[in-house]
């Protein structure tokens, strides 16, 4: 059961809907994300968005700390907080009502509305669904140690992505515990919780709890 885009994500909760709606799997959007942000940014209202430097658009009601670094192309949505020393390296589409916290690093990512990556997180080559939350120190690892392309693995099924770099795909309302590592090609279904200090790989079903030692149990 390797989740498709529609099974993981509510596309009404992101400006990336036109990009993601044409995909079978969410990671297929990542190669086109840079161009999509540039095209979308050029259409944004000057009454709602500041354009402080080339290829960067920031909603006027967003709060961005002076110590944050933002490289384009990037869009920061309404009422989002980008806190001190955040490092946005480009190709980042950050939704409305998000938190990009202190010392958090983003690169080639889609954050749906309401996503929180609030403390010391690294999120690269990933898609985080509506109101997904990563606890302090949780990261997405996006390159395999042997430097081969990332594949999605689930119960003996192996799906090639054709991507050298791929972090994690988090469905809507996923909660990732503090200091967890989401290994390359991790896919987590909607409403699932990951225990702190977990090392996660492969596909984790929706509505589950991923416990210590990799034990997975249903919530309901």
* Among candidate residues 35, 49, 41, the one with its CA nearest the CA of residue 15: 41
pLDDT at site 42: 96
Q: How confident is the model at residue 156 (pLDDT cuts 50, 70, 90)?
A: confident
pLDDT at site 1: 72
Q: How confident is the model at residue 201 (pLDDT cuts 50, 70, 90)?
A: very high
Where would I find the H helices in 47-187? Answer: none
pLDDT at site 45: 96
Q: What is the CA angle 134-178-205, rounded to 5?
A: 60
**Cα separation of 87 and 76, whole Å?**
13
Superfamily of domain 5-218: Hexapeptide repeat proteins (2.160.10.10)
Task: Taking residues 108-125, report their average pLDDT.
Answer: 98
Nearby residues of 220 by Cβ (< 8 Å), 6 or more positions away: 207
Query: What's the residue count for the chain?
Result: 220
**Cα separation of 110 and 121, whole Å?**
15
Query: The tokens 């095209």 sit on which residue?
Result: 39
Q: How confident is the model at residue 220 (pLDDT cuts 50, 70, 90)?
A: confident
* Maximum C-alpha span of the chain: 52
Q: How confident is the model at residue 157 (pLDDT cuts 50, 70, 90)?
A: confident
pLDDT digits (tens, 9 = 90+) for 32-69: 999 999 999 999 999 999 999 999 999 999 999 999 99
pTM of the shown model:
0.97
Spell out the domain ranges in the chain.
5-218
Nearby residues of 21 by Cβ (< 8 Å), 6 or more positions away: 5, 11
């Amino acid at each position: 059961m390797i989740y498709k885009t529609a099974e993981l994500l509510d596309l009404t909760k992101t400006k990336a809907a036109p990009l993601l709606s044409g995909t079978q799997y969410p990671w297929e959007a990542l190669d086109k994300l840079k161009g999509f942000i540039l095209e979308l940014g050029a259409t944004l209202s000057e009454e709602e968005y500041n354009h402080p430097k080339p290829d960067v658009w920031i909603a006027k009601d967003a709060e961005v700390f002076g110590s944050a670094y933002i490289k384009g192309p990037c869009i920061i949505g309404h009422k989002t907080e980008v806190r001190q020393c955040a490092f946005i390296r480009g190709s980042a589409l950050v939704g409305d009502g998000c938190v990009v916290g202190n010392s958090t690093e983003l690169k080639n990512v889609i954050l749906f509305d309401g996503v929180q990556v609030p403390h010391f997180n690294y999120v690269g080559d990933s898609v985080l669904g509506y109101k997904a939350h990563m606890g302090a120190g949780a990261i997405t690892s996006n390159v395999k140690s042997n430097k081969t392309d990332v594949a999605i693995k689930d119960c003996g099924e192996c799906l090639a992505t054709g991507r050298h770099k791929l972090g994690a795909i988090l469905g809507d309302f996923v909660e990732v515990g503090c200091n967890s590592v989401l290994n390359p090609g991790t896919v987590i279904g909607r409403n699932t919780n990951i225990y702190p200090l977990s090392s996660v790989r492969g596909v984790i079903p929706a509505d589950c709890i991923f416990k210590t030692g990799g034990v997975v149990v249903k919530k309901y």
